[in-house]
């Protein structure tokens, strides 16, 4: 059954601009203009998604802060007290990468079936269909910002300062993260209309993707080092999430080489020892690639959306 709150959000957003009937052959430039003119609709859908998630909850959006705080506390107890892994301040290392992954995973997983889930809305109202997966990404951004606040609080508790020189790179990295999540979400939302098993397949692929990204293990234990040769290392970094996670970890965890806390005095290569300028160049290059990928995703979506109504 179509969610009435979502329908109200669409109608409210459409009331601020003339209705344009979308076509599979709309050119890329016109598609971008249509998306820009529907900013209010996108905002309404994001707000609607958040309201639906916490409807009837006494604490409401506060759960988005309490949940990661509880999770971070559990990680601290498990990896720093019970199962000591020898990584100092491991909870900061883990969470600085985990908030990045959570945003990507939540965006893609919720967007994959969003057009199918809102089939009634798609068939009844004319609006840029890309807004539906983009609204899923927008909701994930809100939760990401809340989790970032939790991370900052834990940095204060542990008296752990970030790498200030890296902070200016984070907006570039976040823009790449957003565009990459939006690109995958848009394409998967379109594919799922024709192949309903894609949502279940994506759940499995995201689990595999998580373990091939350097979220829970040090850089010395990553495939980038284990693969050995220079060419295979670059193949590892073809996964955009690898550089994005490493940049956030380098910013908030800071340390590249640390001594094990297990008494072995072993040096652990936690993160790549690249200079901040190297992170800047790599992230800037990745942003250019992500812009191209986002435009390609819109083109693919445009080619696939022509038969949405008949498939739904």
Of 66, 41, 231, 212, nearest to 121 by C-alpha is 41
Helix (H) or strand (E) holding 259: strand 257-259
Provide the pLDDT confidence category of residue 1 given band limits of 50, 70 and 90: very low
pLDDT at 16 over 70: no
pLDDT at 286 over 90: yes
pLDDT at 60 over 50: yes
Q: In this predicted model, what pLDDT tens digit does every residue of 94-108 receive, in sequence order?
A: 889 989 999 999 999
> What residue spans define the domains of the chain?
28-311
pLDDT at 265 over 80: no
pLDDT at 2 over 80: no
Q: In this predicted model, what pLDDT tens digit does every residue of 125-152 receive, in sequence order?
A: 777 889 999 999 999 999 899 889 888 9
């Amino acid at each position: 059954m179509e969610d009435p709150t979502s329908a109200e959000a669409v109608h409210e957003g459409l009331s601020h601009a003339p209705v344009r009937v979308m076509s599979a052959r709309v050119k890329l430039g016109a598609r971008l203009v249509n998306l820009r003119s529907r900013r209010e609709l996108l905002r309404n859908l994001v707000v609607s998604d958040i309201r639906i998630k916490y409807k009837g909850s006494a604490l409401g959006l506060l759960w988005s802060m309490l949940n990661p705080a509880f999770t971070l506390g559990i990680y601290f107890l498990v990896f720093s007290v019970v199962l000591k892994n020898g990584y100092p301040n491991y909870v900061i290392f883990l969470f600085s990468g985990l908030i990045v992954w959570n945003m990507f995973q939540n965006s893609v997983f919720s967007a994959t079936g969003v057009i199918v889930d809102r089939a009634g809305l798609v068939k009844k109202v004319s609006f840029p269909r890309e807004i539906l997966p983009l609204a899923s990404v927008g909701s994930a951004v809100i939760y990401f910002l809340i989790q970032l606040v939790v991370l900052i609080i834990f940095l204060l508790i542990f008296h752990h300062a970030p790498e200030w020189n890296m902070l200016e790179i984070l907006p570039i990295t976040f823009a790449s993260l957003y565009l990459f999540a939006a690109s995958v979400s848009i394409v998967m939302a379109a594919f799922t209309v024709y192949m309903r098993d894609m949502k279940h397949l994506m759940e499995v692929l995201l689990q595999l993707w998580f373990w091939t990204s350097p979220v829970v293990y040090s850089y010395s234990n990553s495939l980038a080092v284990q693969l050995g040769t220079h060419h295979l290392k670059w193949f590892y970094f073809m996964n955009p999430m690898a550089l994005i996670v490493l940049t956030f970890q380098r910013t908030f965890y800071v340390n590249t080489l640390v001594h094990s806390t297990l008494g072995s005095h072993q040096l652990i290569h936690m993160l790549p020892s690249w200079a901040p300028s190297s992170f800047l160049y790599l992230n800037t290059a990745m942003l250019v690639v992500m812009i191209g990928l986002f435009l390609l995703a819109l083109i693919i979506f445009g080619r696939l959306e022509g038969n949405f109504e008949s498939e739904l």
